[in-house]
Amino acid sequence: MSDLHARSFGAVADAYDRGRPSYPRDAAAWLVGEQPTTVLELGAGTGKLTRQLVDLGHDVHATDPDEAMLAILRRDLPDVRTTVGGAEEIAAPDASYDVVVSAQAFHWFDLDRALPEIARVLKPGGRLALVWNERDERIPWVKKLGRIIGTQDRATDPTEPVSTCGHFGFVEDAVFKHWQGVDRESIIDLVRSRSNVAVLDEEARAAKLEEVRAFYADYGRGMDGMQLPYVVRCFRSVVADRIVRHAPAVEEPVSSDDATPMETTSDGTDTDMLLIDFR
């Protein structure tokens, strides 16, 4: 994906915060654990996952390369430590965090630079955790929405680059499901916040949003809106035992107890019941 797309989110930060879905608590617990621990979040954006991590009791340091996105996170989560920065150069000492997590952002990273940096700042036995929300396009009306707004912001499976880079071990994965309530306003915010729409010129963007309004008029339920189903793809991997580390001249890490080993959970939902057309 282009650098232009990667840098497009700041201009639509408010729409991103209003329109993008959150993440289920069970998925956040699987990624990071349920016992309080130190977490570095890369590409935290406006704090969609951060809120869940804070609610679970974790000590989160949220980072993002876009100041406009972080400004919203600071507004809503004023007690969370934040830093403007990317995954390729992490301003933290070696072995600083129990978990490094990234939601909906890993596909933007320069992995040749980011993966060694992530491994460097993880404590021995620490974990890299990744998550993506993806619309469940098995459902006909959801697939139609996907055709209108374009390819999802999804990555190729991260298992191969993580497991073969030499810095991490076996990659575990899990899938969760949840739904996002959308109405005629929030579905526009959802689409406006997408990078492929944000980079369009004004005329093309307006035309795309009109397509979405027409879709909602056909499939929505007025003030009741619609429930947009998501598949939540989660991955985690333990840092390798032998990592060559160095000691940059930055502030001392926040200490914490080791995280309790995480257990795979399920939210018990089944989107098969939604394999219907809402027309």
DSSP string, 106-175: GGGS-HHHHHHHHHHHEEEEEEEEEEEEEE-TTSHHHHHHHHHH-S-S-PSPTHHHHHHSSSEEEEEEEE
Work out the average pLDDT over 128-142: 94
| Of 255 and 107, more confident | 107
> Which pLDDT tens digit goes with each residue over 181-228?
999 899 999 988 887 787 778 898 899 899 999 999 988 776 678 899
Instruction: Please report, rounded to a whole number, the percentage of residues in the chain having pLDDT higher than 90.
Output: 63
Work out the average pLDDT over 111-129: 97
Q: What is the pLDDT of residue 245?
A: 55
Contact in structure between 221 and 278 (CB atoms under 8 Å): yes
Q: What is the pLDDT of residue 244?
A: 54
Q: What is the pLDDT of residue 243?
A: 57
**Residue found under tokens 């609610």:** 55
Work out the average pLDDT over 60-84: 96
Question: Is the pLDDT reported for residue 5 higher than 60?
Answer: no
Instruction: Read off the pLDDT band of 150 (50, 70, 90).
Output: confident
Instruction: Read off the pLDDT band of 15 (50, 70, 90).
Output: confident
> Rounded to the nearest 5 degrees, what angle is found at the Cα of 95, between the Cα atoms of 91 and 98?
100
Q: What is the pLDDT of residue 205?
A: 85
In terms of Cα–Cα distance, which of 208, 206, 203, 184 is closest to 18? 184
Overall CATH class of domain 3-134+154-177+232-260 = alpha beta
* Contacting residues for 74 by C-beta, under 8 A, at least 6 apart: 80, 82
Q: What is the pLDDT of residue 219?
A: 86
How does the average pLDDT of the chain come out, rounded?
Answer: 84
Work out the average pLDDT over 171-186: 94
> Which pLDDT tens digit goes with each residue over 41-68?
999 999 999 999 999 999 999 999 999 9
The domain spans of the chain are: 3-134+154-177+232-260
pTM of the model: 0.81
